[in-house]
Amino acid sequence: MSDWTATIDALIDYLSYQQECGVRMIPLDIAALRALDAPLPRPTATATPATHSTTDSSPVTTTTGDTSSRHDRLAKIAIQAASCELCPLWQGRTCSVPGQGNPNSPDIMFVGDSPAAADNQSGNAFVDKDGDLLNKMIKAMGYTRDDIFLTNVCKCYGPNGRRPKLNEMRACLPYLISQIDIINPKVIIALGADAAMGLTNAQNSTGLAKLRGQWTRLGSTPLIFTYHPKNKLMALPPAKREAWHDLKKVLALLRRPLPPRT
């Protein structure tokens, strides 16, 4: 299959989306046409990755390795998270939720904000009804949950399901950074405003509308922002189209063809 297939499909879908929005003319100059002969660019940084301070209980920096070694190091992080008391969230913890999936340089790592109530009981990420919607998103991209990795910035459930606070995400972020170092995903997809806030060290979560669909980097890993499945907007067709458009950007970056529509 030609390397242009995914690009052409993405262009067709983009133009169709613009048509649905009422756009009838898109200017295009000679320089833009000539640029089509150039290699596809990698995303460039547009935001500042999160930073964190190191404490004695923070996970140590790790490097990638063989499968058994990755599993062992991820298990150590899970043990650390399970006994962590760096922020108040530990008080409502039944199970810490380190995440699960493919640790061997998967194409995608999905990162939410914090576990749901069902996750808190099971110890697994995205197992509630929001997880069902995420499963559909993953399947639409041509993957299964076993192909990718699922986790959150915070590893503990918030009281009564409340949104995590920035200081709580900052306290837990070293665990996620260590996981990313070990798993080495090709792309990270941040789900929702709070995950965007935690990953970029922002002071508030009002910028998702501007961040959504935009590329930046977390370290050397491409990072893109989209809606969280729990967002009520995801029940509306426009938001679903926008989220799907974001996911198609990921497929284009990974040079994966769009799966056939079912």
Domain residue limits, the chain:
42-253
Regions in the chain scoring below 70 on pLDDT:
1-65, 202-207, 262
DSSP 29: -
Q: What is the pLDDT of residues 133-149, one digit of tens each?
A: 999 999 999 999 999 99
Q: What is the dihedral of CA 108, 42, 221, 66, to 10 degrees?
A: 70
What is the predicted pLDDT for the residue at 152? 97
What is the predicted pLDDT for the residue at 205? 53
What is the predicted pLDDT for the residue at 161? 86
What is the predicted pLDDT for the residue at 19? 53
CATH of the domain spanning 42-253: 3.40.470.10
What is the predicted pLDDT for the residue at 155? 97
Q: What is the pTM of this model?
A: 0.74
What is the predicted pLDDT for the residue at 202? 65
Separation of CA 92 from chain center:
25
Half-sphere exposure of 93 (CA within 13 A, CB side): 21
Q: What is the pLDDT of residues 153-177, one digit of tens each?
A: 999 999 888 999 999 999 999 999 9
Asked if residues 139 and 262 have their Cβ atoms less than 8 Å apart, the reply is no
